[in-house]
Chains A and B, each alone.
Chain A
């Protein structure tokens, strides 16, 4: 098992020369390339950061387009600052990205995004990134798996996820305690995930 895992890592490293670099190493490479551009390091860093920023945006903005905007802006700012040497300690790249995401979410909420100006200036410089880690979800399979859930479990999932509502709000409507909703929700989503993944194998 360990040999197989090692072989896969070696193969990945052959396929992707940045595979062995952590986030900070990639950030150092980008900064060190100034005034040139290390395209491979930039693409690798964007591939890693994009899903994280996008998910953060989805969680706080609850809007796929706004999350995609956030991702684009954060990646642009990150590359811009790394290239210009404005991030003095590339070891702190994750903190920088987190902090920037937080600030930009506030701006996006207030409608004060720097989007247009950044897009005009840097859009062509940002490598194209597919932020999704996972393969596309099989909706037919998901539908079948949802049907296999108990009625109460399915209702809790539907009420929770349609508008991404916390447990207390769902519980108030269904006459359940907050703790009860969390237990049902957790158990139901695990069953759903296991069922969907079993179908994908």
Chain B
């Protein structure tokens, strides 16, 4: 059973849905019965579990930058991580740093997001000649803020410097700057 090739492999999408609890009970049980008898599909699921664990580990070490949500920040805090948060008003600036015992940094950019369909983030990083544009970042208009978790390992390597972020709403054929944010960093 386990050493013969699987004749009815569970599709990758179904394994992913199973892992994250997106299947109904009957489908979930059918997949579990198959997995208990199939080393091949089990190895595929192991790969998903391993990637999931890797993403968690990198995030906890501050090695992933991502746009997240206020609720997710609370989940990070509830999981025991030490967070340093900076809320920046629209077109404002903030003095910021990262302490040795900080696990993650959180930047909360306040912006008039009502009616915005697509949001881009343009960053001007210290030492970078050209700005970087991140397209279609996720946001929740209801909260009126964009929540970013930057890479802490990169920020720890910075000397005294200033980084600038610009939020741009993309609509119709054009775009509109919603706000600009300056981070005045000291080590």
Docked-complex contact A162 and B51, CB < 8 angstroms? no
- Residues of B within 8 Å of A139, CB to CB, are 54, 57-58, 63
Most buried by A among B42, B47, B66: B66
Per the bound structure, the CA–CA distance linking A166 and B75 in Å amounts to 15
Chain A: interface size category:
35 or more
Docked-complex contact A94 and B13, CB < 8 angstroms? no
Does A125 sit at the interface, judged by CB under 8 A?
no
- Residues of B within 8 Å of A132, CB to CB, are 46, 50
Per the bound structure, the CA–CA distance linking A22 and B13 in Å amounts to 28
8 Å CB contacts to A: which residues of B35-78? 35-37, 39, 42-43, 45-59, 63-69, 71-72, 75-76
Most buried by B among A55, A182, A185: A55
Per the bound structure, the CA–CA distance linking A167 and B19 in Å amounts to 11
Per the bound structure, the CA–CA distance linking A163 and B78 in Å amounts to 11
Docked-complex contact A182 and B59, CB < 8 angstroms? no
Docked-complex contact B19 and A52, CB < 8 angstroms? no
Scoring A residues 156 to 184 as 1 if CB is less than 8 Å from chain B, else 0, what string do you get?
11111111111110000111100000100
Docked-complex contact B67 and A142, CB < 8 angstroms? no
Closest residue of chain A to B60 (Cβ to Cβ) is: A162
Tell me whether A59 and B18 are in contact in the complex, defined as CB-CB below 8 angstroms, given that A51-B46, A161-B56 are known contacts.
Answer: yes
- Residues of B within 8 Å of A143, CB to CB, are 58, 63-64
By secondary structure, the A interface counts as: helix
Does B179 sit at the interface, judged by CB under 8 A?
no
Binding-face segment, A29-37, A79-87, A114-122, A189-197 = A189-197
Docked-complex contact A196 and B51, CB < 8 angstroms? yes
Closest residue of chain B to A173 (Cβ to Cβ) is: B69
Per the bound structure, the CA–CA distance linking A143 and B53 in Å amounts to 12
Does A110 sit at the interface, judged by CB under 8 A?
no
Does B1 sit at the interface, judged by CB under 8 A?
yes
Contact of A152 among B42, B76, B136, B140 (CB under 8 A): B136
Docked-complex contact B54 and A137, CB < 8 angstroms? yes
Docked-complex contact B45 and A158, CB < 8 angstroms? no
8 Å CB contacts to A: which residues of B75-94? 75-76, 79
Docked-complex contact A151 and B136, CB < 8 angstroms? yes
Contact of A174 among B13, B51, B138 (CB under 8 A): B138
Per the bound structure, the CA–CA distance linking A143 and B141 in Å amounts to 29
Per the bound structure, the CA–CA distance linking A53 and B46 in Å amounts to 11
Per the bound structure, the CA–CA distance linking A152 and B68 in Å amounts to 10
16 A-B pairs with CB atoms under 8 Å apart are A55-B42, A94-B37, A139-B54, A143-B63, A152-B136, A155-B138, A158-B55, A158-B66, A159-B68, A161-B55, A162-B59, A166-B22, A173-B69, A173-B140, A175-B140, A186-B16
Given contacts A22-B4, A146-B55, A152-B138, 19 further A-B contacts (CB under 8 A): A21-B3, A23-B1, A24-B1, A48-B2, A52-B39, A55-B49, A58-B49, A95-B36, A98-B33, A133-B39, A133-B43, A133-B46, A134-B46, A137-B50, A155-B67, A165-B21, A173-B71, A192-B51, A196-B51
